[in-house]
Chain A
């Protein structure tokens, strides 16, 4: 066998590791989840009971699924005006200027801050601030978590929409200018419609990020195993309940937590898949 063939085989077999890894992950997660799904059936997803008392253990993931979706959706809503404005700043108004470069670097650095540091900041700075302005009287819960999550996902939403916005062809915009449009009108009637699906995909990917964030949410959501009933209610997300309860878990409880991990894996997979599909359709 010549060396070219060996090289090809080595490349192929090493890259096969990724497939094995992914397959193994699904296999292990499903395997670990079986005991709890066997015990509770489909009710595991629809039940809101989470009771680890020995003898009458009862696990349902609904509060955590709800908590995850609510906080992530909240984060998306809060981050929308911010990251949309930032991507216009970077991709349209100040494209290729020094100030955009500085701002862009700072936005990227937001993505570099570790989750636990966001959590500390949220706990020691944002929480007292929200209480002091009378916005929220305990400072824990869905709203505070969404707010910090919003900051965390801004870089992901911004980087894609900024790129797409700056790629809108100049002649389209110039045509609108020549008709006497103001810059705002160009953005509103030309740039944004042309970049719409890219901007949308960016938000979907950012949403996928928010779903799996763990530490910051764990520190801010208040760890109550119930379905949040208001914006300021405490709760738990799928990621935070794993982080919180893993330490003392074995047997059925461990299986329940792994099941939640499996659900989280599936949900983020679907959300990211949709985002990637939109991007693929565009190009």
Chain B
């Protein structure tokens, strides 16, 4: 504590204090600058391509794209196949993950301190840390190899669902912990059956908290590319069959990135993806802040 003891060096100490504050502010601004830089870049390069047609037409082939680029025109077509693919897989993943996640969260809340619940909670935490590409491998080995016998939307959904599950479990338990115990006790005292206390009182009371968790989980998996490369593969046609290869927005970005003729489409596709993710994210934040 040498520097604190001196009284004669107040000038230096105040200067140090100021410099440190300046440094903190500067570095904090540097920290958040990428988000602004990235969004501006996406808007600047992507807005021209983003039209109604981009949303409802399917992907152009390489030849069409090449001709358009050669004539200095906008590349025709859109990414409807990818948008529908993302929708299909995310909805399917949610259908799998949300009920299991919420019920597991309720179980953990109802069995605080018991070893089985602790084990489940720890395992769920471990699952949350598993890299998404490993989940892709898992779904490949399980679904692609044994269920759909080929790359498929279902396989993609399974990998996304495994990713969503621990997030929903955690947010459900955390939300329930914040609900006053008296509410549950009042329900039980009135003789309401246990399951109705859980799903008729606790869940509706914590609805906005659960919603926040679900929206954040969805916004996280919408942008996932790696597991889908190993499972859904991608497709240039609109596909609604869950046992067939399916495209997704991040997957077409990867395709465009690797195809010199289509590379102009990466910005508009990324812009669209970014808008979707931001809407989910900010809605979740909004719901969460209104709770407080």
Chain A residues with CB under 8 Å of B124's CB are 18
Chain A residues with CB under 8 Å of B166's CB are 18
- B212 located at the interface, meaning its Cβ lies under 8 Å from any Cβ of chain A in the complex: no
Chain B, interface size category, equals 35 or more
Q: Report the nearest B residue to A92, measured CB to CB.
A: B24
Per-residue contact bits, chain B 1-43, to A (CB 8 Å; 1 contact, 0 not): 1011001000001101100110111111011101111100110
Chain A residues with CB under 8 Å of B34's CB are 110, 121, 151
SS of B interface (majority):
helix
Q: Is the CB of A242 within 8 A of B223?
A: no
- Given the interface pairs A103-B32, A114-B250, A185-B3, the reply to whether A242 lies near B219 with Cβ below 8 Å is no
Q: Is the CB of B223 within 8 A of A114?
A: yes
- A219 located at the interface, meaning its Cβ lies under 8 Å from any Cβ of chain B in the complex: yes
Of A59-67, A136-144, A206-214, the segment with at least 4 beta carbons within 8 Å of chain B is: A206-214
Q: Is the CB of A183 within 8 A of B17?
A: yes
A128 to B26, CA, bound (A): 24
Q: Is the CB of B169 within 8 A of A219?
A: no
Q: Is the CB of A208 within 8 A of B127?
A: no
Q: Is the CB of A117 within 8 A of B42?
A: yes
- Given the interface pairs A109-B35, A239-B226, the reply to whether A93 lies near B130 with Cβ below 8 Å is no
Chain A, interface size category, equals 35 or more
- B120 located at the interface, meaning its Cβ lies under 8 Å from any Cβ of chain A in the complex: yes
Among B16, B27, B219, B250: residue with most chain A CB under 10 A: B27
A246 to B116, CA, bound (A): 37
- B165 located at the interface, meaning its Cβ lies under 8 Å from any Cβ of chain A in the complex: yes
Among B99, B108, B130: residue with most chain A CB under 10 A: B130
Chain A residues with CB under 8 Å of B129's CB are 208, 212, 268-269, 271-272
- A133 located at the interface, meaning its Cβ lies under 8 Å from any Cβ of chain B in the complex: no
Of A2-10, A34-42, A43-51, A225-233, the segment with at least 4 beta carbons within 8 Å of chain B is: A2-10
Instruction: Determine which of B30, B99, B273 lies in contact with A82 in the assembled complex, contact meaning CB atoms within 8 Å.
Output: B30
**9 closest Cβ pairs, A-B complex:** A212-B131, A114-B223, A85-B27, A272-B129, A214-B226, A182-B17, A15-B104, A15-B107, A89-B28
5 contacts between A and B (CB under 8 A): A7-B194, A83-B31, A110-B32, A125-B37, A212-B134
15 more contacts with CB within 8 A, not counting A10-B195, A103-B32, A125-B37, are A14-B100, A15-B104, A18-B165, A18-B169, A25-B138, A28-B141, A82-B31, A85-B27, A116-B223, A117-B42, A117-B273, A180-B7, A212-B130, A243-B226, A243-B230
